[in-house]
Amino acid sequence: MSGERTMPVAVLIGMMGAGKTRVGKEVAHIMNLPFADADVCIEREVGMSIPEFFEREGEPEFRKVEADLIADMLEDFDGIFSLGGGAPMTPSTRDALADYISRGGRVVYLDADPEEAMERANRGGGRPMLNGDADARWRKLYAERDPVFRKVANVRVRTQGLTPQMAARKVMDMIRERMVHVTGAGIEPYDVCIGEGAMNHLPEVLGDGPVRVALIHTQPVQRHSDHARTLLRQAGYTVSDIVVPDAEAGKTVDVANGVWRRMGDEGFTRSDAIVGLGGGAATDLAGFIAATWMRGIRYVNCPTSLLAMVDASTGGKTGINTEAGKNLVGSFYTPAGVLADMRTLVTLPNDIFIEGLGEVAKSGFIMDPEILQILEDHADELRAFDGATFLDSGLKDVVAELIERTVGVKAYHVSADLKEAGLREFLNYGHTLAHAIEKLEHFRWRHGNAVAVGCVYAAELSHLLGYIDQDLVDYHRSLLGSLGLPTSWSNGSWDDVLALMHKDKKARGNTLRFVVLDGIGHPIHLEDPPADAVEEAFRRIQR
């Protein structure tokens, strides 16, 4: 073995006849990577065919040789690696695969149609484990192995009806995905999956329990909801298609009541599920419906805007707006999973993409300076975002990294503080003024734009109170401005703004509370700051 620890790009597991070798070779070819088949490597090592080795040495000795070889390859091979059908049944191999996953590896379970796999396995011959009644043996092994494969793998690809080339494309999309794991006290762990084709995971995240699925979406994302509906119906779910108004107009008690009525009429039970598909408002509403229907049912978010991918869809905050203010009625209720499919960004207008960068930058200011560096380095490209060319441009990987990093910031705070008792409030940097702006603008201002102005306001307040210097305030303005985000607002009176700030969720009684910075990556709580500083900071963002 070499001194430097390397690892495969992906490891394929599955039943005999699932197509691991054929699909693996296709993936390796498309990605210009080496391919290795564990069975071929073993035959080379022992100097005979596997059936011969089985006959001479027996299965226990074969499994020992196999496990040792796999352990070596997981640390000394940098391509696509296919395992024999029974390999994951060996405890030491399962441990080695778990370690590989912990290092960022992808164990892909090729979940083939049993009839197709049995036919291929029988046609291939030379399989000692199928001696005797091959079909009966295959089915018995499948019953034993399938639960183990599902547990071992962190990627599952259904290949029924797919050609090897189609299956390879599906595998390639999935192994290129980025994953953020969200866990913590009071949280049922779930994953945020980021990548092209991430929506294909929908059936596997929903699971076998639900019969009916309410697909809640807005009209502008019809193309993506059509795709989700097809995936759901192919997986055997009964789908109720529920279209809600776009943006904040969809987050009202009247809209929620209409959805509740529809679900009641269609017989939704506690074991059924919801899929929220669209921007941040749609996923907020879908989560609120899921949290309140029969005191909580399973739901999955499929965000289709940058803002929804980095903010609203993750973290378990669900809610609707009222006359009194934004998100004042809601619940903390976590999804079963979040599928941020990069393909949905192709239909995103430039201005809606850019507003999402407000939340991205906020996450850089409060925790991850690398986000700010990426935004600086690619400001011109990000500002010129064009959905039509996005997936074929270098910007795709930049945006994927920004989403992953921003979701990581949110996951860190949510994992430590699901119900916003302290640490999670840091995610509200810039939001105290932002929510007031949104309300006074009757929600005609997009959330991310309001957050950008709110961050400049919070920076001004931080500076006035001596926590940061003028350079950092100026940096807020220059960076946000370079991305095409607003940095000032002058369409409301101070009295109206102050009244709404007192209704902010962070406020306690008559005491205002803010999140401010004492440096990049160092947010702090500010209790009851001097009234003149609070007002002066507002005057400075009016210029």
Residue 251 marked as a ligand binder:
yes
Is there a contact between 214 and 242 (Cβ–Cβ < 8 Å)? yes
247 is in an annotated binding site: yes
Residue 451 dihedral angles phi and psi, to the nearest 5°: -65, -40
Q: Is 246 known as a binding-site position? A: yes
501 and 450: one domain? yes
Residue 278 φ then ψ, to 5°: 145, -155
Res 179: pLDDT: 82
CATH label of the domain that carries residue 475: 1.20.1090.10
Backbone φ, ψ for residue 266 (5° rounding): -95, 5
**Using only C-alpha atoms, what is the Rg of the chain?**
26
Q: Which of 128, 156, 175 is the last residue of a domain?
A: 175
Can you spell out the DSSP letters for 92-105? Answer: HHHHHHHHHHHTT-
| pLDDT at residue 503, as a whole number | 80
User: Was 540 annotated as part of a binding site?
Assistant: no
Residue 454 domain flag: yes
10 phi, psi to nearest 5 deg: -155, 150
Per the annotation, does 176 bind a ligand? no
Would residue 340 count as lying in a domain? yes
326 assigned ligand-binding residue: yes
Q: Please check if 5 is assigned to a binding site.
A: no
Beta strands in 138-196 (DSSP E): 155-158, 178-182, 190-195
For residues 341 and 436, state if they share a domain. Answer: no
345 is in an annotated binding site: yes
Q: Are the C-beta atoms of 430 and 459 separated by less than 8 Å? A: no
Q: Consult the annotation and say whether 29 binds a ligand.
A: no
Determine if residue 431 is labeled as part of a ligand binding site.
yes
What pLDDT, on a 0 to 100 scale, did the predictor assign at position 6? 86
DSSP line for 243-268: EE-SGGGGSSHHHHHHHHHHHHHTT-
Burial of 126 (0-12, 13-18, 19+ CB in 10 A): exposed
CATH number of the domain where residue 250 is located: 3.40.50.1970
Q: Report whether 248 belongs to an annotated binding site.
A: yes
The answer to whether 347 is annotated as binding is: yes
Number of domains the chain is built from: 3
Q: Which two tokens stand for residue 423?
A: 């640490």
pLDDT on residue 121: 61
d(CA 515, CA 434): 12
Pairing of strands 337-341, 513-517: unpaired
CATH of the domain at 21: 3.40.50.300
439 is annotated as contributing to ligand binding: no
Residue 227 domain-assigned (yes or no): yes
Which residues, listed in sequence order, are joined to residue 127 by a DSSP beta bridge? none
In a shared domain, residues 85 and 194: no
DSSP codes, 496-542: HHHHHHTTSTT-BTTB-EEEEESSTT-EEEEES--HHHHHHHHHHH-
Question: From the CB of residue 385, how many other CB atoms can be counted at a distance below 10 Å?
Answer: 23
Same-domain pairing of 21 and 157? yes
Distance CA 363, CA 388 (A): 27
Chain centroid to Cα 464, Å, comes to 38
Q: Is 317 annotated as ligand-binding?
A: yes
pLDDT in tens, the chain (543 residues): 344 568 999 999 998 878 889 999 999 999 999 999 999 999 999 999 888 888 898 889 999 999 999 999 999 999 999 999 889 999 999 999 999 988 888 999 998 877 777 776 666 555 555 555 667 777 888 889 999 999 999 888 888 878 888 889 888 888 888 888 888 777 788 889 999 989 988 988 998 889 999 999 998 899 999 999 999 998 899 999 999 988 777 788 889 899 999 999 999 999 999 999 998 888 989 999 999 999 899 999 999 999 999 987 776 778 877 777 666 777 888 899 999 999 999 999 999 999 999 999 999 999 999 999 999 999 999 999 999 999 989 899 999 999 999 999 998 887 775 555 567 789 999 999 999 999 999 888 999 999 999 999 999 999 999 999 999 999 999 999 999 999 999 998 999 999 999 887 666 667 888 999 999 999 999 988 999 999 999 999 997
Note whether residue 215 is domain-resident. yes
Is residue 500 domain-resident?
A: yes
- Same domain, yes or no, for 426 and 512? yes
The predicted structure's pLDDT at residue 17: 78
Q: Are residues 169 and 278 in the same domain?
A: no
Look at the alpha carbons of 246, 249, 255, 256 in this order and tell me if their dihedral is positive or negative: positive
Known binding residue 452? Answer is no
21 is in an annotated binding site: yes
Q: Domain boundary residue among 175, 197, 226?
A: 175
Residues 125 and 211 in one domain: no
447 labeled part of a ligand binding site = yes
Report CA torsion sign: 360, 365, 368, 374.
Answer: positive
The answer to whether residue 402 is domain-embedded is no
* Cα–Cα dist 502/118, whole Å: 67
463 annotated among ligand-binding-site residues: no
Do 171 and 183 lie in a common domain?
no
Q: For residues 501 and 151, give the distance between their C-alpha atoms in angstroms, rounded to a whole number.
A: 48
Say whether both 446 and 297 belong to one domain: no
Q: Is 252 annotated as belonging to a binding site?
A: no
Non-local (6+) Cβ contacts of 328 within 8 A are: 319, 321, 322, 503, 505
What single-letter amino acid sits at 159? T
- Indicate if 225 and 248 belong to the same structural domain: yes
Question: In terms of C-beta distances under 8 Å and separation of at least 24 residues, what long-range contacts does 68-71 make, across chains too?
Answer: 69/38, 69/41, 69/42, 69/45, 70/38, 70/96, 71/96
Which residue range is the domain that position 190 belongs to?
Answer: 179-348
DSSP states of 207-234:
-SS-SEEEEEEEGGGHHHHHHHHHHHHH
Q: Give dist(CA 71, CA 236) in Å, integer.
A: 39
Amino acid identity, position 217: H
How far apart CA 123 and CA 290 sit, in angstroms, is: 48
Q: Using CA atoms, how far apart are residues 179 and 192, in angstroms rounded to an integer?
A: 6
Three-state DSSP at 70 gives helix
396 in a known ligand binding site: no
Q: Do 155 and 200 fall into the same domain?
A: no
The residue from 130, 151, 175 where one domain ends is 175
Residue 441 lies in a domain: yes
Known binding residue 151? Answer is no
Write down the pLDDT at residue 2. 41
Task: Please check if 52 is assigned to a binding site.
Answer: no
Answer yes or no: is 451 a known binding residue: no
Q: Do 171 and 192 share a structural domain? A: no
- In the numeric block, which tokens belong to residue 466? 């001596």
Q: Please check if 511 is assigned to a binding site.
A: no
pLDDT of residue 37: 95
Half-sphere exposure of 325 (CA within 13 A, CB side): 20
Residue 4 placed within a domain: no
Q: What's the token pair of residue 216?
A: 């809640």
Say if residue 153 carries a ligand binding annotation.
no
